[in-house]
A and B are shown apart, each in its own frame.
Chain A
Amino acid sequence: MSIIELSDISKSYRIGEVETRAVDGVSLSIEAGEFMALVGPSGSGKTTLLQIMGCLDKPDRGAVVINGQDVTRLNANRRADLRRDVIGFIFQFFALVPVLDAYENVELPLLLSGVGARERKERTLELLDAVGLSDRIHHRPDQLSGGQQQRVAIARSLVKRPLMVLADEPTANLDTANGEQAMEIMRRLNAQTGAAFIFATHDPRVMSFARRTVRMVDGRIVDDRVVQ
């Protein structure tokens, strides 16, 4: 069953006098539990497509259906609800809240969802343990290495048990060892939780982990293949 269905999505940006079509008539269906890489050169539209899937941005044309619900025309608050409840995010720049420690960063989405204190604690500690940071729970982001910060972000993206985790260049700021460790953790959690992982990347290391690769060029999908 598909958890997200994109039909004929287009999105343009205007920078000064120049209009750039970032996504051009893309249709795509993603199933539950997929581990998929959205690949292509810089400017190919993969980040824009990821943002549209994550309800961070709206398409100019086309429809986005998440879990059976057309989300294309939802207002800002409803889209915030959807992001909070069914989507996890991992960003290239780690994107932790600097004034919160590792535990609080992971716990925050649960707080926003109104999850009870005991369950919050259990799920937060479980995820921090799963990413190997049980001994760093009270460290703030500036006391953690880049790899550790990205692992906190991975834990945070999964703590709400989302349908899908959208990751934009998750290894771009990590060295080889930390990048591979992060990918290993995500693959393991993908298997354990059943959440779909969708990566926008041009990092061959990430592609090597993916079970499906969708290639984009100039805002269009030019190749979509399942890797055996």
Chain B
Amino acid sequence: MAWVKLWVMAYRDLTRSRRRTFFTLLAVALGLALLIVLNGFIAGVVDDALQNSIRLQTGHVQVRAASYPDDKRSLRWQELIERPATLVAQALAMPEVATAAPVLWADAVLNTSRESVGLQLYGIDVASPLYDPIRRALVAGEFLAANDRSGVLMGKRLADSLELPLGATVSLVTIDANGQPQEALFVIRGLFDSGVLVYDEGAIFMPLAKAQAYTLVGDRASAVMLLLHDKESAGQVAAALAAPGLQTLTWRQLNALFIQTMDTAMIFYMFLDAIVMLIVAVIIANTLLMAVFERIREIGILAALGLKRRQIMQMMLFEASIIALAGIVVGVILGLFGVALLTQYGFVMGEMAGVASTIPMSAVLYARFAPATFAWLSLWTFIIALLASLYPAWFAARLEPVEALHTN
């Protein structure tokens, strides 16, 4: 029963200096809310970029010729896949595979009367659901037809920056499979706005057959891209498709640089988390230490009545727990509200999204609810608050009753 009274005393002690308690609680709440919003936002950004990369760039699994180089978009015959349709059929027969399609990648330069822009050319299977994101992102014109021999799709942002209207004719130059420059005229059939600046400003799409003819690669493709029902089965699917002369890569391998970059960034964010928690800890320690200094004689009285050091320490830890728990409740509410706002309205990155050209970041970034992370942050805030209160509690408990009683 004594511990119940210790809780009551701890609670009432907190109401003695309400302003100080309120501001300490506010510091805990704002600190935790900041951490929740920050972590929810980071989780959203990482998810968004990885999702964009998988959906638009890498797929869950890619099959390439074993000799296809990692560092350039080669069009040499021996570095391309022959008869990609066979591989596509083999992949589509697997239950884990949602869709599969060949793709041809090439570097190209788009020339207008005023300037030239380097682009990545995608020769795509226009019927494949793999390109649904681009299909949905169309803002003008129409999607490509498989037999379109002169149409291309490009980002609206790029078209706007080059002042090219829908239907305009543009000149594209590439280096073909034989290493010779090839120039051809194309008509802008549609404009898309995917929200991912890497695509909206740096990609041009044309039907696979036209791209193959234009680059003189025959019926070859750079890769066969697969989307799976569950990305965790990528390893299993890649292993099943492995064959001599081919390399099969999973989304983890294809996004290794991105994942590694994000892991490094996470360490930085963990430092940020730690700094915020440290500030909260210092505020709690300061509040409790002030409370102890104000109540030294009272602690002496309690000791004289027979309260043991352990019980005095408990009482101070109870005070810290009450502040921490109340702060955590308010902090979680504020934090979730902040995350909800960022989930709904997002954070407009604008041109900043294109700064990291290798990361397919959306122009508007949204937060994501990450319940496990939020629970960990709350738990850590509580633990840190208790750790921070150990010194004031220990200080109070080790006071000699006779000295405490004679303190004014």
Contact = CB atoms under 8 A, between A and B. Distances in A.
Contacts of A76: 308-309
A91 interface: yes
A131 to B, nearest CB: 17
Interface in A95-118: 95-100, 104, 108-109, 111-114, 117
Given A56-B401, A57-B402, A83 B309 contact: no
B305 A109 contact: yes
B301 interface: yes
B170 interface: no
Interface residues of B, number: 25
Nearest to A48: B402
A112 B306 contact: yes
B13 interface: yes
A77 interface: yes
B306 A80 contact: yes
B405 interface: yes
A112 B309 contact: no
A89 B304 CA distance: 7
Interface of A is mostly: helix
Interface stretch (B1-9, B82-90, B182-190, B362-370): B1-9
B307 A80 contact: yes
B51 to A, nearest CB: 55
B227 interface: no
A85 interface: yes
A81 interface: yes
Given A95-B301, A97-B9, A111-B1, A77 B405 contact: no
A100 B9 contact: yes
Interface residues of A, number: 29
A112 B301 contact: no
B306 A85 contact: yes
B12 interface: yes
Contacts of B16: 98-99
28 contacts: A51-B402, A56-B304, A56-B405, A57-B401, A57-B402, A76-B309, A77-B309, A80-B303, A81-B308, A83-B304, A83-B306, A84-B306, A85-B306, A89-B304, A89-B305, A91-B301, A91-B405, A93-B297, A95-B405, A97-B9, A97-B302, A98-B16, A100-B9, A108-B5, A109-B305, A112-B305, A114-B1, A156-B305
Given A81-B306, A108-B305, A112-B2, 7 more contacts: A56-B401, A56-B402, A57-B402, A91-B301, A91-B304, A95-B405, A97-B298
Interface of A: 51, 54, 56-57, 76-77, 80-81, 83-85, 89, 91, 93, 95-100, 104, 108-109, 111-114, 117, 156
Lowest 9 A-B CB distances belong to which pairs?
A84-B306, A99-B12, A57-B402, A56-B402, A95-B301, A80-B308, A83-B306, A56-B401, A111-B2
Interface of B: 1-2, 5, 9, 12-13, 15-16, 297-298, 301-311, 400-402, 405
